[in-house]
Structure 1
Amino acid sequence: MFRNYLTIAFRNLTRNKVYSFINIGGLAVGMAVAMLIGLWIWDELSFNQYHKNHDRIAKVMQHISNNGEVQTRESVPYPLAEELRKNYGSDFKHVLLTMNDVWNVLSYSNNKFLKIGSYIEPEGIEMLGVNMLKGSRECLNDPYSVILSASVARALFGNTDPLEKVIKMDNKYAVKVTGVYEDFPINSTFHTVSFIAPYKLFSTRYEWVRTMGDPWRANAFQVYVQLSENADFDKVSFKIKDAKLKKVNAELAKLKPTLFLQPMSKWHLYSEFKDGFNIGGRIQYVWLFGIIGIFVLLLACINFMNLSTARSEKRAKEVGVRKAIGSARSQLISQFFSESFLVVTLAFILCLFLVQLCLPFFNELADKNINILWSNPLFWLVGISFSLFTGLIAGTYPAFYLSSFQPVKVLKGSFRVGRFASMPRKVLVVMQFTVSITLIIGTIVVFRQIQYAKNRPIGYETNGLVSLPQAINEIHKHIDIVKDELLKSGAVVSVCETSAPTTESWSSSTEFNWPGKDPNLLAEVPIIGISYDYGKTIGWQMKEGRDFSKNFASDSTAVILNESAVKLMGLKQPIGKAISWFQQPYTVIGVVQDVIMQSPYEQVKPTVYNFTKDDVSYILAKVNPEISATIALSKIETIFKKYNPSQPFDYNFVDEEYAKKFDNEERISKLATFFAILAIFISCLGLFGLASFVAEQRTKEIGIRKVLGATVFNLWQLLSKDFVVLVLLAFLIATPLSYYFMNNWIQNYAYHTDISWWIFALTGLGALLITLLTVSFQSIKSALMNPVKSLRTE
């Protein structure tokens, strides 16, 4: 019986090739979209699950009250680790003090690489579940040891065994390679870590760690913990919340530091905080794309249901004959479900092919390394269940609708589908285009928000500005000579030094005081150390006063404020005003236009620029616009290697670094655009099928109208107007829906665009034009048909 069902189903598919292609192709595209989104969601949800103890690991974070706003920080003071071990040790299996994202030059023989590493305490190897390929888990007990990722070990030593080899870090410290570990996967927080060294080595190397006056002041470290077996994240968070507050001085206590634990399972998806509360993060995109995947698949199922019910009259006699010779309704339902499952099976096979074909493009678009999980039983279980469910959804309505026909009426020729028989199809078409239009409007709003932030004045000139990280301080020792040679080479027009890249602020302080400051106000202000010619190099806009100058010896105790800092301090005439920092007097010599260093979607923070002599992490150079960047970089490299041969030449264009701030939103925008295009394609595919059916159904009517004098335009209008009405109705439903959701979305950004009326008008017009183009092919084809053929007796 089942074999007979499949045979009949296959014959029906081959007899109606156009409708079969639309059904199978549409379902395959919908299933492919759903599968791609499913793989993306799987990758997002499995983030950090590489670490075997991920469900018990947490990061110690803190909320602080800064200038009336509760801010959330990942960094904490280093004594906190010992404090947690000493007074809360029963709640933790491990407490790990680390310094992350440290750039160091690793060199062996003639091989030199600038890499990012982490300095951790020895127990971190066990706690983080580092997969050791060579060496033991006790490999960091020696303070002058290091373990390398497999890729860095190959780069440094080739095929030679790296164990017990001695390498140099920053050309200063000799350390022994005691282990090699498997590279962390891209869906791990630590995927950029290329080496791991003991924390004791960090504290030995950097004098400021050992000599700071109040170690509870510097929030520069990270503390990770692994909870004991019976401990609960929330309960332990509550117990430790005042652990820092009890140790800081009275001035810092005004910040009201409150500690809490952020579980590793939430680091990636729940990373955003506002006013001391977690407001989500990437989890909103997981929900968003999950919903999109469901709706796109639903669109494909709608096509199947629409075309199946639309062709019901052509199969009415088949149903009547089957019932007349004894077929039960359950058998007919089984027949139609067999057809549905055959279509879905073929669509699933085609879907796997499409997904495999699209994965390279999709991975590039999503910045992922996703593969089809061929060997994972769960993938096949979900895939097959998913297909069965799709077949059930797509086939339910046709099966029960077609099997309900009365055989007497059908065989007597008196069967009529009724004036409201097409209503379900119309409702489904409206639903399709409502989803598609909503997706298009959402995509446009996301794109406009990105462009709005991109067009925001950033306060300096990024074109031709090159940032050169300095892990080894040799260039700084010869900065005057290096600067002179760079200028004489013609490669650059200006050079300076700074304590932080132009796209970030690494340091802040609460120790600023100024005339008229409210004694209850405790504001944490970012501070950037800069050298002479910083303003000239980056091209910032001086609003008042002047830049630092060698002509003024007093500039060593001078500062420059941005506009937000002047506003915070309430300085009416800031130039010449005295402010203090750590009770040392400084004079304001200039005010600059706000420079965006943090998020381009947020308000610029009050910032202080001070003159620095030794705190140098970057060299900034303005490339000569009259020569090519390649030639300029070659000349810069030659001079840098002359004075700092121990460090590989490394650079970043500042405009590219700034552009990375938009990566997440742009990636989401591209993915949304991709899915919106596929949604409208699936909708139009179904519309094309319905238009073909309507045109075929009204062939005789068209022939009669042509004989009576109807023009091609009249007939096109006749066949198109019903679909136009449906799309306009979908537009009216989609407009308030999309406005509500997108208006809520943009409110998450302090600096955001508005939602203009023309977005809806343009989208509605576009949907209308796409509909007319889709329908017009069949409409005009039918209108041009010879009426003699249309009216010929069958």
Structure 2
Amino acid sequence: MIRNYFKIAFRNLVRNKTYTAINVSGLALGMTCGILIFMLVKYHLSFDTFHTNSDRIYRFVTEQHRETISYRANVPSPLGKVFRNDYTFGEKVARIATAEDVVLTVKEGSEIRKFKESEGVAFTEPEFFDIFNYPLLKGDRETALLDPNTAILTEKMARKLFGAADPMNKLFRLDNKVDFRVTGVLKDLPITTDRKSEIYVSYNTLKQYNDWLASDDAWGGINSAMQCFVRLRPGVSPDEVEKFLPAYVKKYRPTNKNVHHYKLQPLADIHFNARYGGVITKTNLWVLGCIGLFLIITACVNFINLATAQALKRSKEVGVRKVLGSFRGQLFWQFISETGLITTVAVGLACIASALLLPFINDWFKVQIAVNPLADWQFMLFLPLLTLVVTFFAGSYPGLILADFQPVMALKGKLSQQNIGGFNTRRTLIVGQFAISQVLIMGMIVITNQMRFSTQSDLGFNKDAVVMLPVATESNVLTMKTLKSQFSQIPGVQTVSVCQSAPASNYNVWNTSPNYDNRAEDEAFSVSVKAADEQYIPMFGLKIVAGRNLFPSDTAKEFIVNEMFARKLGLKASDEVIGKALSLNDGNTKGTIVGVIADFHDRSFHEDINAICITTAPDLYASYALKINSATVQPTLAALEKTWSDRHPDQVYDYQFLDEHIANFYATEDLMLKLIQTFAAIAIFIGCLGLYGLVSFMAAQKTKEIGIRKVLGSSMGQILWIFAKEFSRLILIAFVVAAPVAYYAMNAWLKNFIFRVDLGVGIFISAIVGTFLIAFITVGFQSIKAALMNPVKALRSE
């Protein structure tokens, strides 16, 4: 019997090739999205779940209470040490300081090899490997990082640095400053961990690399490199620990207005908490999951629409089967068999499509999803479950309708619209589909406009044709001046400045509380300090509104502030600050304000303009900023590389255009735009399949009506209007539903931007016009085909 079901099902599907192709493509598309989203959600939920006692592992974080509350995934360097010594809450406590974008040098005989490591080197206390489950393949876990100048490498990094040779006791040099000896080899890190550094060196060597960061008295600042982890003892709660942490603020920062609140963040929260640099929020994962479910459901809905439209053609077949003795259950399972065949083929195509699309998903989301079905029991369970659910969800309703046909009415062709499900259910589902499509279209337009506004607006400084080069680690004042002079002599280089960072940057950011005009207390706001030479302001085109530019100096301190600085002081005029004393960094940096510049955007459009202070500080300079001629970019870049490499032959050359760096501010929004474009296209396509099903159903129902109208003189336009008014009504209803939803959602999204576009009427007009055009193209062929039908054949049809 079962064999007979599938044999007949196969014949029916082959006979109705268009119907089969549409259903297979719709289901395959929906299930491809479902499979990819399932793998993506599963990938993120598996992060750092493999550690022993992961429920007791926490990271110390900081809430900074200034004008507003800001959140840092870092703490002062001494916190981990004093917590370990003062309290017994922690079973293990480990500090880890990561130096990113470092240069590693390996010397073997006369050969010298250099490597640029963006993930950097982690100065690590030995207890780190007691807290986290990163297996050591060579070396002793207890002693590998105990001595100074020792290092542990992953297998991958050991091969990169030393090839096939045994890495144990081999030497490498970090940033031409510190030498390390390899004392251990780690098993390669799992892809589902937020720890990316593959080089771990002894923490007690940090003082040789960064004396301030290693200081046990460095409570006055928080560096993004420093993190601290703890595994609490059994029975100890994080709330219990947090009650004792304010004591450190009172003891070590008693006079500071910007009170620090130290908290414990669970390991399971690190990957998902955007406040502390989490990769993706659980809310976004839920949204992705719901989108995947919606796309599968809408694909099933389209199947139902097409199947019920097809039911009229099969009414006599069902009538004959019933007359010959077929039972209701047999007819139901016959249709389920057809659905099962379609679903199985669709799942196979979806698996192939998912495998082909996975590299693009990995690239888009910056993930490393690898599918091994034989080793992934969750995926192997998901796939047959998806097949069964789709088969019964999509096939049950049409199967029941076919099985309920009355044989006499079916054989006489007297079945009514109510006998095959009617329009109302399909209309409702299609309205829902197009409402979602229009929400996505409106969202896509808003995000596109905001991205264009963010990247093309005037930022208050010149960002075009500006190249940022690194200052080598061993550079001094003389070296920087010499190289700056050599750069300026290169044809195509217009201006050169040595600085800490560009006007808008997330790197090398130094925030501190200012003391203005020798007041008794520091100001309540923070100021973003930018170290730069006297060429910084003219090179970036910053506008001086009062006072003058900095004088060239390596020692004397002068400050230039922005207008926001004066406003936060409550002054009526910006020039009131000229000549006033300014003290930064707890009084360690003092000088006089000599100028005021116009405000510029120093961060992304997500944030308001900060109070800015620019001063000379050669020990903080990290970049050369060069304005170059856009007509001679390539030869200029080649000359810059040669000049830089000749001066620093033992360093790795690198450069970045400033506009590319600024574009990175909106990496998340760019990804969201790509996603919404993709899902909007898929949702529109699936919605169009549903609309096609409705039009097919209408054409089958109205065959005789169309024939009569044509005989009575109706024009082709009047016939087409029969179909057009139906889908026009549905699209308008969908728009009425979608517009307020899109407005609310996009207005909430835009609130993440301090500087943003307006939600104008044009966005909604564009969405409705675009939807009408897409719908017209979808129904046009079927409608025209029905309108051109020979009226004689139409009137003879049964």
TM-score, normalised with respect to structure 1 = 0.92
2:350 maps to 1:351: yes
2:236 maps to 1:268: no
How much does 1:20 deviate?
1.2
Counterpart pick for 1:769 among 763, 766, 773 = 773
Give the structure 1 partner of residue 313 of structure 2.
314
Amino acid in the other structure paired with 2:560:
I
The 8 Å contact of residues 564 and 599 in structure 2, kept in 1 or not, is answered as: yes
Give the structure 2 partner of residue 451 of structure 1.
452
Q: How does 1:215-294 map to 2 (within 5 A)?
A: 215-220=218-223, 222-228=226-232, 230-231=234-235, 234-252=238-256, 254-272=257-275, 282-294=281-293
- Separation in structure 1 between the aligned mates of residue 729 and residue 296 of structure 2, nearest angstrom: 24
The change in CA–CA distance for 1:712 and 1:13 in structure 2 (over 3 A counts) is same
The 8 Å contact of residues 96 and 203 in structure 2, kept in 1 or not, is answered as: yes
Q: How does 1:635-784 map to 2 (within 5 A)?
A: 635-784=639-788
The 8 Å contact of residues 104 and 115 in structure 2, kept in 1 or not, is answered as: yes
- Separation in structure 1 between the aligned mates of residue 628 and residue 129 of structure 2, nearest angstrom: 44
Question: How high is the sequence identity, in percent, across the aligned residues?
Answer: 34
The 8 Å contact of residues 58 and 229 in structure 2, kept in 1 or not, is answered as: yes
The 8 Å contact of residues 19 and 689 in structure 1, kept in 2 or not, is answered as: no
Amino acid in the other structure paired with 1:364:
D
CA deviations on 1:734-776 (whole Å, 9 max, x unpaired) are 1112222222222233333222211111111111111111111
How much does 1:623 deviate?
2.4
Amino acid in the other structure paired with 2:599:
D
**SS, match of residue 472 in structure 1:** coil
**SS, match of residue 385 in structure 1:** helix
How much does 1:487 deviate?
1.4
CA deviations on 1:605-640 (whole Å, 9 max, x unpaired) are 212222113222222222244522x32222222222
- Separation in structure 1 between the aligned mates of residue 716 and residue 214 of structure 2, nearest angstrom: 88
CA deviations on 1:301-329 (whole Å, 9 max, x unpaired) are 11111112223333333444444444443
- Separation in structure 1 between the aligned mates of residue 742 and residue 718 of structure 2, nearest angstrom: 35
Give the structure 2 partner of residue 469 of structure 1.
470
How much does 1:159 deviate?
2.4
Amino acid in the other structure paired with 2:622:
S
The change in CA–CA distance for 1:379 and 1:725 in structure 2 (over 3 A counts) is same
Amino acid in the other structure paired with 1:539:
G
The change in CA–CA distance for 1:64 and 1:170 in structure 2 (over 3 A counts) is closer
The 8 Å contact of residues 144 and 152 in structure 2, kept in 1 or not, is answered as: yes
Give the structure 2 partner of residue 46 of structure 1.
46
How much does 1:476 deviate?
4.2
- Separation in structure 2 between the aligned mates of residue 349 and residue 476 of structure 1, nearest angstrom: 65
The change in CA–CA distance for 1:237 and 1:732 in structure 2 (over 3 A counts) is farther
- Separation in structure 2 between the aligned mates of residue 343 and residue 314 of structure 1, nearest angstrom: 19
Amino acid in the other structure paired with 1:105:
V
Alignment length, in residue pairs? 782
Counterpart pick for 1:619 among 605, 624, 639 = 624
- Separation in structure 2 between the aligned mates of residue 698 and residue 249 of structure 1, nearest angstrom: 82
The 8 Å contact of residues 445 and 755 in structure 1, kept in 2 or not, is answered as: yes
The 8 Å contact of residues 469 and 654 in structure 2, kept in 1 or not, is answered as: yes
The 8 Å contact of residues 467 and 651 in structure 1, kept in 2 or not, is answered as: yes
- Separation in structure 1 between the aligned mates of residue 180 and residue 241 of structure 2, nearest angstrom: 38
The change in CA–CA distance for 1:326 and 1:518 in structure 2 (over 3 A counts) is farther
The change in CA–CA distance for 1:122 and 1:793 in structure 2 (over 3 A counts) is closer
How much does 1:680 deviate?
0.6
The 8 Å contact of residues 724 and 772 in structure 1, kept in 2 or not, is answered as: no
How much does 1:665 deviate?
0.9
Give the structure 1 partner of residue 591 of structure 2.
586
CA deviations on 1:668-726 (whole Å, 9 max, x unpaired) are 11011111101111111232233234324433433333333222222222232212211
CA deviations on 1:445-483 (whole Å, 9 max, x unpaired) are 222222222234323222222222235223644122222
How much does 1:283 deviate?
2.4
Name the stretch that deviates more: 418-427 or 348-357: 418-427
**SS, match of residue 647 in structure 1:** coil
Q: How does 1:307-706 map to 2 (within 5 A)?
A: 307-375=306-374, 376-411=376-411, 413-418=413-418, 421-474=422-475, 476-502=477-503, 503-504=505-506, 506-508=508-510, 510-515=512-517, 521-550=523-552, 556-571=556-571, 572=573, 573-581=576-584, 582-583=586-587, 585-628=590-633, 630-706=634-710
The change in CA–CA distance for 1:387 and 1:241 in structure 2 (over 3 A counts) is farther
**SS, match of residue 607 in structure 1:** strand
**SS, match of residue 251 in structure 1:** coil
- Separation in structure 1 between the aligned mates of residue 233 and residue 318 of structure 2, nearest angstrom: 64
2:176 maps to 1:171: yes
2:138 maps to 1:154: no
**SS, match of residue 614 in structure 1:** helix
Amino acid in the other structure paired with 1:142:
D
Give the structure 2 partner of residue 24 of structure 1.
24
- Separation in structure 1 between the aligned mates of residue 47 and residue 583 of structure 2, nearest angstrom: 45
2:149 maps to 1:144: yes
2:69 maps to 1:70: yes
- Separation in structure 2 between the aligned mates of residue 170 and residue 135 of structure 1, nearest angstrom: 25
The 8 Å contact of residues 474 and 644 in structure 1, kept in 2 or not, is answered as: no
The change in CA–CA distance for 1:156 and 1:426 in structure 2 (over 3 A counts) is same
The change in CA–CA distance for 1:145 and 1:724 in structure 2 (over 3 A counts) is same
- Separation in structure 2 between the aligned mates of residue 722 and residue 455 of structure 1, nearest angstrom: 42
**SS, match of residue 694 in structure 2:** helix
**SS, match of residue 330 in structure 2:** helix
The 8 Å contact of residues 244 and 258 in structure 1, kept in 2 or not, is answered as: no
**SS, match of residue 718 in structure 1:** helix
The change in CA–CA distance for 1:441 and 1:467 in structure 2 (over 3 A counts) is same
Amino acid in the other structure paired with 1:99:
A
The 8 Å contact of residues 176 and 474 in structure 2, kept in 1 or not, is answered as: no
**SS, match of residue 371 in structure 1:** coil
The change in CA–CA distance for 1:714 and 1:247 in structure 2 (over 3 A counts) is same
The 8 Å contact of residues 467 and 657 in structure 2, kept in 1 or not, is answered as: yes
- Separation in structure 2 between the aligned mates of residue 594 and residue 182 of structure 1, nearest angstrom: 50
The change in CA–CA distance for 1:754 and 1:710 in structure 2 (over 3 A counts) is same
**SS, match of residue 244 in structure 1:** helix
The 8 Å contact of residues 516 and 523 in structure 2, kept in 1 or not, is answered as: no
Amino acid in the other structure paired with 1:157:
F
- Separation in structure 1 between the aligned mates of residue 520 and residue 458 of structure 2, nearest angstrom: 31
Name the stretch that deviates more: 566-575 or 410-419: 410-419
CA deviations on 1:72-127 (whole Å, 9 max, x unpaired) are 222211111122112333x3222111212344321112101232211111222333
- Separation in structure 1 between the aligned mates of residue 187 and residue 662 of structure 2, nearest angstrom: 31
The change in CA–CA distance for 1:793 and 1:506 in structure 2 (over 3 A counts) is closer
Task: Compute the RMSD of aligned alpha carbons.
Answer: 2.7
Name the stretch that deviates more: 507-516 or 480-489: 507-516
Give the structure 2 partner of residue 35 of structure 1.
35
**SS, match of residue 332 in structure 1:** helix
How much does 1:258 deviate?
1.4
The change in CA–CA distance for 1:694 and 1:307 in structure 2 (over 3 A counts) is same
- Separation in structure 1 between the aligned mates of residue 445 and residue 192 of structure 2, nearest angstrom: 29
The 8 Å contact of residues 64 and 257 in structure 1, kept in 2 or not, is answered as: yes
- Separation in structure 2 between the aligned mates of residue 495 and residue 548 of structure 1, nearest angstrom: 15
Amino acid in the other structure paired with 1:731:
F
The change in CA–CA distance for 1:587 and 1:521 in structure 2 (over 3 A counts) is closer
Give the structure 1 partner of residue 92 of structure 2.
94
Which ranges in structure 2 are unaligned for 5 or more consecutive residues? none
**SS, match of residue 272 in structure 1:** helix
Which ranges in structure 1 are unaligned for 5 or more consecutive residues? none
Counterpart pick for 2:199 among 186, 195, 220 = 195
TM-score, normalised with respect to structure 2 = 0.92
How much does 1:156 deviate?
2.8
